[in-house]
Amino acid sequence: MSGLLQDVRYALRQFRMSPGFTAVSVLTLALGIGATTAMFTLVDRILFRSLPYPQDDQLVSVGVVAPIIDGEFLFAANYLGWRDQQTSFVGFTSSTGVSDCDLTDDHPVRATCAAVASTFLPTLGIQPLLGRNLTREEDRPDAPKVALLTYGLWQDRFGGDRDVVGRAISLDGQPTRIVGVLPRDFEFPRLARTSILVPEALDESIVQRHEMGTVVRVFGRMKPGASIEQTKAELQPLFRDFVESAPPPFRKVLRLQVRSIKDLQVHDSRRAAWLLLASALAVLLIACANAANLVLARSAGRRNELAIRSTLGAPRVRLFQQRLTESVLLALMGGACGTGLAYVIVQAFVALAPVGIPRLSEAAVDGRVLLFAVLLSLASGIVFGTLPALEKPTVQMLVVKTMVGTRGARLRQMLLAAQVWMAVVLLASAMLFVRSLLRLETEPLGMNPANIVAAQITLGQQKYSGAAERLRFFEELERKLKELPGFASVALSDSLPPTPPARTMPYVAVQGEGQPSLGPEQGIGGVVGWRAVTPEYFSVLGIPLLSGRTFEERDRAPGAYSIILNQALAQQMFPDEKALGKMVRFHADRAELAAPFTVIGVTGNTQNQGLGGQVGREYYMVRRHTEDDVIFHFPGSQRVSIVVRSALGPQTVALELRNAVKTLDSTLPVEVSTLSESVAKLAERPRFSAALLSLFAVVGVLLTALGIYGVVSLLVSQRTQEIGIRVALGATTAEVTRMMVWQASMWVGFGAAAGILGSLVAARWIGSLLFGIRANDPATLAEAAALLLVVALFGAWVPARRAAKVDPMVALRYE
Amino acid sequence: MTEAEQPLIQIQELTKVFYTDEIETHALSGVHLSINKGEYVAMSGPSGCGKSTLLSIIGLLDTPTAGRYFLNGKTVENLDFAERSRIRNQEIGFIFQSFNLIGDLTVYENVELPLTYRQKMPAANRKARVMEALERVGMAHRVRHYPSQLSGGQQQRVAVARALGGKPSILLADEPTGNLDSRNGEAVMEFLQNLHREGATICMVTHDPRFAKHAQREVHLFDGKVVAEEELKKLLQETSA
Ligand SMILES: Nc1ncnc2c1ncn2[C@@H]1O[C@H](COP(=O)(O)OP(=O)(O)O)[C@@H](O)[C@H]1O
Ligand SMILES: [Mg+2]
């Protein structure tokens, strides 16, 4: 015990005597532990967190994948059939989705309602916190309306009142009874923000009437022990029936999909999350290599001391213990600082993070991760710190005073090279991400979003249940907005680029005049998007007209059938001729699409697949002044986007817009932002990844520089004698500096070369996450390596310059 | 004065004061000394009398606090670091008590080291010089060895070769036998004498009177001053009394 105390005291004295070494070691460990713990904490929310459903590994999302709809789905009729016939699931449920709804009591607010089957909560294994689940009887079209509140809404709107169950509220103008409150950790499986659960109330009679019904999302709980493959195989007969019932062109492109809910949630962020995790690990390894290197370098300088102690009869165990004490103390100090750092980083990134990362805001530094990081650094400190104590002291070590030198340098230099190697890979990846982000943000959109204010309005179901009410609102809105001073340029659309059009049509159903129709072997030919717009849409957004004209008032009159194509569609539909003036026919069983449409114009392409997507084929219909207009025959016609180009400031425009809407309907929420803002928002995720990765790259590079600095500093102090001799023999400042830098740089260069190779390997992995830049972009890789070389050499140069100031008089001393 | 008559080293009224922790140590207080070309001077005196300090000033490793120092007739007080390095490298050969060979470098590389600091020397030329110097000290067969693989006597011979390789105007040796047994010490002394016979200028610090006898001229230092031999004896008797 007194031995331990003595060791601790001795170690503390050692730290005091070499404050530089101690500071660099602790800083290194703190950065490594802090950054890694923070990153893991953040990524853990995405990759490894368990879902708030019991036995969540049994839960799957089931459906058919078809090009017209995003993600797996079934039609209501299929779902009802599968529900009754399937034998693979112990629970089988569906949701028609999440949509806006209004709490229309005295103080109306917009909420989001998830419409689900009565089997939804039991399948997920969720018990309401208060009240009860929906019953089968309530899940019918004609049943009295009921709802379950989420915990958040219950708290915010009802003050957490436990008597809320049984109370009647007005939901979209209809009296609705609250039957329960959901637990706090309730989460809709598709992660949509939800505040109310209502019955989806599918009309089961559609099956008899041979109608498809609406699109539903289906979830199942597999039997315990069943695998996804097995379940998928069991569903094949049902899937085959589905395929046979589909229109022939679709049959080839349909696919059955069964995947875990976790997969469903993270499929697009998984790769990025793993990449971030790998980068955190790389930083930790760099830090450990750093610490090891410092400890090794110092041990080399203390061989003499060790040898003397050993000759004085100190048992090897004691020497070992003493080293161990030092290493453990260092790791503990680093761990303490690292914990603090981790908290700071997590806070900063939670503040920065985009929405849609599940429960990131609840992220807290994970104790297990912290422990792991501390243990790893401890282990590296112990291994490298005690290695020298295990070496048998030889007489050679006692006579080093007759010569000076550096031994055991090979291992240190290899560690240095390994650090540089990892740092280059990190830096190259981060640079690729940043460049990709820059390309994404400066991607030509095919329109000019500057000075445009965009607003989104969704009409409530109750007040605007039919085409007549919706049309009246839209018409009045358009008129009102055009009357506003300074609102010369205003247009309505159902959706805005660069988000994809709200509606799509299979290409096979859109036939150009004089063009052959697609053969059955060509399937549906993909989908074509379309938007319903007012005539000013193109001028407001600055979408260039390539030929013909844009819509005019006369195109909105009854009997006028005009259509505008984007360049991509025009080129595909009419590859060898001018599209202008041609007829386009729709093969759809819809009266409103029966007449042929005349192509009156072709516009430039706008980015319409989100940022960084391939520009898709698209056409435009004009919004007519009739309730029989085509838009009212498609779902989603209650939604409208307004765009205003105005010289007035965005704040003024927003205010005027809100006021105008208020005069029409004072309860209607309006979301207003500039178009540039909403475009920028689309790049949030890649920006988040790029920011995280850059942080780690910077930490990695700093650590590497710090490591080189520390090692060269120690070398300089240990080689004072040698340097003094060289100076005595006539070496100049420049020569000494160059020598010290050169010795470090050889291995740095080696590491940098390995780093380029490593980046090429990593490229295969990150390629799909990048936009507009190849993952093996030679310029980026070369720059990353060069940047690291410069930083590393600077790290070596600073202490090397000190070497040149060594007093040559040391050559004359011989203690 | 013709060149032959001009002393290689001329030191006038030289003082050196060390300041450490507010203590002033007067290591040298008013030293006059001149060394001619081809001379072999031995410097002796009790420990702490300033021998090493004087040698380091002569070798441009250190600067005097006051006084004048002419090397080859030129004053060296105003030289900057780089110029002093260059003169050390070309005009002065050092032999240290603790050999000061660099452990990471082979015998050959150690001897070559000062030559690598000369910008304009062609590699072939350098090689010839190194081998010549190593042959002179009888260590040519050990070029690939590292210092740790040599005996003390051999290490000192390599150190002498390193000093000779640059063909310096003067060899400065600070107790070159201090770390050697008497047999190896004799050998080194004999070797220095041979060099002197061939025309080398040598200034050697020793407190061993036997080795001092090898020199042409003996300079006695006492308490930072040059004193005559009789005076030294008197002083020594006084201090021991
Ligand atoms: N760097 C220094 N700082 C302070 N005092 C020194 C220093 N070098 C030498 N001295 C002092 O100067 C005096 C002369 O030392 P030195 O020339 O080494 O003596 P010698 O070589 O004759 O034994 C001694 O008192 C010594 O302590
Ligand atoms: Mg001395």
Q: Is B16 in the pocket of ligand 1 (CB under 6 A)?
A: no
CA distance A438 to A430: 12
B2 pLDDT above the threshold of 50: no
CA-proximal residue: ligand 1, atom 14 (nearest): B50
A:B CB pairs within 8 Å = 87
In the DSSP assignment, the letter for residue A401 is: G
Banded model confidence at residue A490, pLDDT cuts 50, 70, 90: very high
Distance CA A458, CA A462 (A): 12
The verdict on B81 touching A (C-beta cutoff 8 Å) is yes
Q: Residue B155: list chain A partners with CB under 8 A.
A: 402-403
CA distance A67 to A250: 9
- Any CB–CB contact under 8 A between A394 and chain B? no
How far is the centre of ligand 1, averaged over its atoms, from the C-alpha of B176 (Å)? 18
Q: Are A315 and A68 in contact (CB under 8 A)?
A: no
The 3-state secondary structure of chain B reads CCCCCCCCEEEEEEEEEEEECCEEEEEEEEEEEEECCCCEEEEECCCCCCHHHHHHHHCCCCCCCEEEEEECCEECCCCCHHHHHHHHHHHEEEECCCCCEECCCCHHHHHHHHHHCCCCCCHHHHHHHHHHHHHHCCCHHHCCCCHHHCCHHHHHHHHHHHHHHCCCCEEEEECCCCCCCHHHHHHHHHHHHHHHHCCCEEEEECCCHHHHCCCCEEEEEECCEEECHHHHHHHHHHHHC
Give the pLDDT of residue B140.
Answer: 92
ipTM of this complex prediction, to 2 decimal places: 0.86
> Would you state the pLDDT for residue B181?
86
Q: Which range is least confidently modeled, A153-157, A376-380, B196-200?
A: A376-380
Q: Which of B53, B58, B226 to mutate to test the pocket of ligand 1 (most atoms within 8 A of CB)?
A: B53
Coil, strand, or helix at residue A101?
Answer: strand
Indicate the length of chain A as a whole number. 815
**Neighboring chain B residues of A730 at a CB cutoff of 8 Å:** 85-86, 88-90, 114, 117-118, 166
**pLDDT at residue A397, rounded to an integer:** 42
B187 touching chain A per CB within 8 A: no
The domain spans of chain A are: 1-52+283-404, 67-253, 464-664
pLDDT digits (tens, 9 = 90+) for A761-778: 888 888 888 888 888 899
B-contacting residues of A 794-813, CB under 8 Å? 808-809, 811-812
Taking the C-alpha atoms of residue B178 and residue A815, their distance in angstroms, rounded to an integer, is: 13
Nearest-by-Cβ selection for B94 from A728, A731, A732 = A728
% of residues, chain A, pLDDT over 70: 91
pLDDT digits (tens, 9 = 90+) for B152-172: 889 989 999 999 998 899 999
Given this model, what pLDDT does residue A368 score? 76
Cβ of B94 and A402 within 8 Å?
Answer: no
Q: How confident is the model at residue A399 (pLDDT cuts 50, 70, 90)?
A: very low
Residue B21 CB–ligand 1 contact under 6 Å: no
pLDDT at A398 over 50: no
Most confident of A715-724, B26-35, B110-119: B26-35
Q: Does A403 sit within 8 Å of B117, measured CB to CB? A: no
Which of A230-239, A474-483, A708-717 is least confident? A708-717
Question: Is B10 near chain A, with CB under 8 Å?
Answer: no
pLDDT of the residue at A153: 92
Residue B48 CA to ligand 1 centre (angstroms): 6
Of A154-158, A327-331, A796-800, the one with minimum mean pLDDT is A327-331
A652 to chain B, any CB pair closer than 8 A? The answer is no
Atom of ligand 1 nearest to the CA of B45: 22
User: How far apart, in whole angstroms, are the C-alpha atoms of residue A527 and residue A797?
Assistant: 61
How distant is the Cα of B215 from the closest Cα of chain A, in angstroms? 22
Q: Identify the residue among A404, A407, A729, A740 best suited for mutation to test binding to B, counting B beta carbons within 10 A and taking the highest.
A: A729
- The Å distance, Cα B206 to ligand 2 centre, comes to 9
Asked if residue B28 lies in contact with residue B54, where contact means CB atoms within 8 angstroms, the answer is: yes
- Whether the pLDDT of residue A355 is over 70: the answer is no
Contacts 24+ apart (CB under 8 A), A611-615: A611/A440, A611/A441, A611/A443, A611/A498, A611/A679, A611/A682, A611/A683, A611/A771, A612/A440, A612/A443, A612/A686, A612/A771, A612/A772, A613/A498, A613/A500, A615/A446, A615/A566, A615/A568
Q: Are A344 and A42 in contact (CB under 8 A)?
A: no
Instruction: Give me the pLDDT at residue A303, please.
Output: 62
Q: Do A814 and B98 touch (CB under 8 A)?
A: yes
Pick from A671, A453, A640: nearest CA to A532: A640
Helix (H) or strand (E) holding A574: none
Residue with CA at minimum distance from ligand 1 atom 7: B18
Instruction: Report helix, strand or coil for A511.
Output: strand
Estimate to the nearest angstrom the gap between the alpha carbon of A227 and the chain centroid: 28
Q: Which ligand is nearest to the CA of B49?
A: 1
Q: Is B40 on the interface with A (CB under 8 A)?
A: no
* Whole-number pLDDT of residue A169: 92
Would you say residue A549 has pLDDT above 70? yes
Q: Which homologous superfamily is B9-240 in?
A: P-loop containing nucleotide triphosphate hydrolases (3.40.50.300)
User: If you average pLDDT over residues A150-175, what whole number do you get?
Assistant: 91
For range A372-382, the mean pLDDT: 76
How does DSSP classify residue A355? T
Ligand 1, residue B51: give the atom nearest the CA. 22
Taking 50 as the threshold, does the pLDDT of residue B127 lie above it? yes
How many Å apart are CA A631 and CA A688, to the nearest integer? 37
The pLDDT, as a whole number, for residue A140 is 93
Q: Report CA(B195)–ligand 2 centroid distance (Å).
A: 23
Model confidence band, residue A401 (pLDDT cutoffs 50, 70, 90)? very low
Whether pLDDT at A382 is above 80:
no
DSSP letter, residue A73: B
| Confidence grade of residue A403 (pLDDT, cut at 50, 70, 90) | very low
Distance CA A101, CA A196 (A): 9
Residue A743 confidence class, pLDDT cut points 50, 70, 90: confident
Residue range A266-291, pLDDT digits in tens: 766 777 778 888 888 888 888 888 88
Question: Does ligand 1 lie within 6 Å of residue B224's CB atom?
Answer: no
- Among B86, B99, B147, beta carbon nearest to A730: B86
Between residues A465 and B236, which one has the greater pLDDT?
A465
Ligand nearest B221 Cα, by number?
Answer: 1
Q: What is the mean pLDDT of residues A109-123?
A: 92
What ligand 1 atom has the least distance to the C-alpha of B50?
17
Phi-psi region of A356 (alpha: psi -120 to 50; beta: other; left: phi over 0): left
Closest CA to B87 of B109, B118, B65: B118
H/E element holding A111?
A: strand A109-116
CA distance A736 to chain B (A): 10
- Give every CB contact of residue A508 below 8 A, 6+ residues apart in sequence: A249, A517, A518, A522, A523, A524, A525, A587
SS3 A515: coil
User: What's the pLDDT at A361?
Assistant: 58
pLDDT interval class at A395 (50, 70, 90): very low
Which residues in chain A are closer than 8 Å to B82, comparing Cβ atoms? 732-733
Q: Is B82 on the interface with A (CB under 8 A)?
A: yes
Mean pLDDT on A701-724: 83
Note whether A395 contacts B: Cβ–Cβ < 8 A: no
Mean pLDDT for all residues in chain A? 85
Query: Of B52, B81, B166, which has the smallest distance from its Cβ to A812's Cβ?
Result: B52
A408, pLDDT greater than 80: no
Does the pTM exceed 0.80? no
Residue A195 contacts by C-beta under 8 Å, 6 or more apart in sequence? A111, A112, A113, A149, A150, A152, A153
Chain B CB within 8 Å of residue A599 CB? no
Q: Is the pLDDT of residue A642 over 90?
A: yes
Phi, psi (5° rounding) for residue A335? -60, -40
Ligand nearest to the CA of B65: 1
Q: Which run of H or of E encompasses A294?
A: helix A270-301
* Token digits of residue A565: 């194509």
What is d(CA A745, CA A789) in angstroms, rounded to the nearest whole number? Answer: 8
Q: What is the pLDDT at residue A128?
A: 95
Give the side-chain half-sphere CA count within 13 A for B18.
11
Distance CA A751, CA A610 (A): 39
Say whether residue B59 is in contact with chain A using an 8 A CB cutoff: yes
| Inter-chain CB proximity A403 and B99 less than 8 Å | yes
Give me the mean pLDDT over the A92-113 stretch.
85
Q: Report chain B residues whose CB lies below 8 A from the CB of A412.
A: none
Mean pLDDT value of segment A711-736: 83
d(CA A389, CA A232): 60
Q: What is the pLDDT of residue A756?
A: 92
| Confidence category of residue A621, pLDDT binned at 50, 70, 90 | very high
Q: Say what the alpha-carbon torsion angle A315, A321, A322, A324 is, to the nearest 10 degrees.
A: 150
Among protein residues, the one whose CA lies closest to atom 6 of ligand 1: B18
| Residue B65, φ and ψ in degrees, nearest 5 | -75, -40
Nearest residue of B to residue A405, measured between CA atoms: B103
Ligand 2 centroid–CA B55 distance in Å is 9
Q: How far apart are CA A568 and CA A631, in angstroms?
A: 23
Measured from the CB, is residue B44 less than 6 Å from ligand 1? no
Q: Are A293 and A300 in contact (CB under 8 A)?
A: no
Decide: B129 in ligand 1 pocket, CB within 6 A.
no
Each domain of chain B, given as residue ranges in start order, spans 9-240
Residue B69 has pLDDT above 70, yes or no: yes
> Are the C-beta atoms of A263 and A271 separated by less than 8 Å?
no
Which tens digits make up the pLDDT trace of A298-322? Answer: 776 666 566 666 656 666 677 777 7
A664 and A677 Cβ atoms separated by less than 8 Å: no
Ligand 1 atom closest to B49 (CA): 22
Q: Cα(A452)–Cα(A643) distance, rounded to whole angstroms?
A: 7
Ligand 1 proximity of B18 Cβ (cutoff 6 Å): yes
Q: Is the peptide bond before A500 cis (omega within 30 degrees of 0)?
A: no
